Structure 1
């Protein structure tokens, strides 16, 4: 019965280290992509934002055109009224009526001046907005070309690595099922807490992999015995002996080679 328990612990350790090798390979693939997905997303946001800005600017131009038309109509109406009041002045019976019509004519002349002033302001705004539209179009063209280039880069990398990454993720899920849940939870927690994502490491030159902290000889013997899961007291990483690590690495390298074809 004791022998069976030893084998079970060793199987767990091997499965944990295999899981680590698989997840590390996924990390490598994602590092190859680097910041490209984020760059593409940012550029897509820029392009969408510039398109929205252009739409708003064009809508604003349309509104200004409508305002100019309205003011021109107002000017024509005022001119018609001035003509009408001028004719009426020819047939007035007294000065009071004449002065009243003069005030109406004066008011309409002021309305024409105000409308012309507004038309001038609207035209200035149109010219200003046209400049902004031109600049925005240039910026949009530059961003769109840059996005196309970056998407091409990303698509090329994805084409090379997507199939392998998908297969590796499936393998990772398979190996997780071989390990009891509490160990998988611990493994993921450690992975999230360390910079390089290494939760299971072999002993190298008497220290845990990637660390300068020496493992006491007695603990090294226990690790090599593979009778229990032992963690590094400094980093919290799960430790395996170098021989087991080498055996699993050779095995997993063959798997990776197969998956990358």
Structure 2
């Protein structure tokens, strides 16, 4: 069974991990907002493609509906012609009235179908305009994405080896820290934008939140007998010796 690490070792291991992770954070800052911008653009492009596809399906359905109405008109016109011929051979008023009623129904059918065709034409025009606007926007987004990806790829190319090296070092450093401390470290890092979970004492203040640290607490930190967190921000505090910083001579 591995021997329990001393407080000094725990503090040194925590500060070492923080140093490595801070370098990784710097590489992420170098990338800036590009990864998020690329991801957002890809989501927008996927959304536009989905919308265009949905509109194209709707247009196809509407065109099919218009063909059906045109077929209904042709069929009604055929029936009108047939009923017109039958009018020449009616034998009584009852047959005449029945044919007149059928003709009126077919005329109404033609009128209704023409009305629906005109409405479909207007809807098609509107949807085609929407598709054209969406396609223009899609082209713009694709061009922007292309530029952003090239920018990001150039940065990644410059930093990839260093990033891989640091990730391996971070994984190795994490193995030297007990789970309880590691969970606390990760939690604190997530709480702050700069990812600083372990801070040095600078000018009698916490190097993370810059609040003043009482002399007695500073003394305890320098003694390295226990792990001490800043009472204001919760960051683990280490002295210059632990951090490997040369103390300037007074």
TM-score, normalised to structure 2, is 0.87
Q: State how many pairs are aligned.
A: 244
Q: Which residue of 1 aligns with 2:125?
A: 127
Structure 1 CA distance, aligned partners of 2:177 and 2:197?
A: 14
Change (3 A) 1:217 1:67: closer
Instruction: Please tell me whether residue 93 in structure 1 is matched to residue 91 in structure 2.
Output: yes
Q: Which residue of 1 aligns with 2:104?
A: 106
> What is the 5 A alignment of 1:53-64?
53-64=51-62
Q: CA deviation at 1:38?
A: 1.7
Q: Which residue of 2 aligns with 1:80?
A: 78
Structure 1 CA distance, aligned partners of 2:192 and 2:104?
A: 83
Q: Which residue of 2 aligns with 1:149?
A: 147
Structure 1: tracts of 5 or more residues without a match: 249-261
TM-score, normalised to structure 1, is 0.84
Q: Which residue of 1 aligns with 2:173?
A: 175
Larger helix proportion of the pair: 1
SS of equivalent to 1:197: coil
Structure 2 CA distance, aligned partners of 1:217 and 1:115?
A: 91
Q: CA deviation at 1:177?
A: 1.5
Q: Which residue of 2 aligns with 1:207?
A: 205
> Any conservation in 1 of the 2:87–2:96 contact (CA below 8 Å)?
yes
Structure 2: tracts of 5 or more residues without a match: none
CA deviation map 1:214-239 (0-9, x unaligned) = 33444434433333333333333222
Structure 1 CA distance, aligned partners of 2:97 and 2:29?
A: 87
Structure 2 CA distance, aligned partners of 1:123 and 1:216?
A: 79
Structure 1 CA distance, aligned partners of 2:99 and 2:114?
A: 23
SS of equivalent to 2:69: helix
> Any conservation in 1 of the 2:14–2:198 contact (CA below 8 Å)?
yes
Bigger mean CA deviation after superposition, 213-222 or 8-17: 213-222
Change (3 A) 1:214 1:105: closer
Change (3 A) 1:39 1:103: same
Structure 1 CA distance, aligned partners of 2:120 and 2:51?
A: 20
Q: CA deviation at 1:164?
A: 2.1
Q: Which residue of 1 aligns with 2:37?
A: 39
Change (3 A) 1:194 1:109: closer
> Any conservation in 1 of the 2:208–2:235 contact (CA below 8 Å)?
no
Change (3 A) 1:65 1:11: same
Q: CA deviation at 1:174?
A: 1.1
Q: CA deviation at 1:195?
A: 4.1
